[in-house]
Amino acid sequence: MAAVRSPSGQRRQFGRPIGSFQAIKHVLADRSVQLDAAWMLVREAAHALDGKRADADVAARTALAAAADAVEAVTADALQTHGDIGFTWEHRSHVLLRRARARRSLLGPPAHRLDVLADRLLGSTHRS
């Protein structure tokens, strides 16, 4: 994946770039790891579907759950990292967050996606 230029290196608070603050670094690192994990699961699901493997359905549902959660978390944190500019028409982060949350309406909440995945893995009898 191509590196994205972060506003955390440009935006300043207390005379320092906000990217120099440990809290911002942790948020950005967490989201980077979350995106990498989701990307790995999406690639694995694509290979499973291309190879017509028996586990393709489970791989696809796992990738969907991870990617949907990652997109919503990343867009919400991006809006916070951008600060006030994220709520203006000059920047698209508010639009991306709205799209991510709209997808939740189409795909269902994260708990529902994980329940469906659990049903696939364990069978529908696991919720006694």
**Average pLDDT in the chain:** 80
> Pick the residue with more confidence: 34 or 14?
34
The owner of tokens 């006030």 is 84
Tokens of 119: 């049903």
Domains of the chain: 20-120 (1.20.140.10)
pLDDT in tens, 58-77: 999 899 989 999 999 999 88
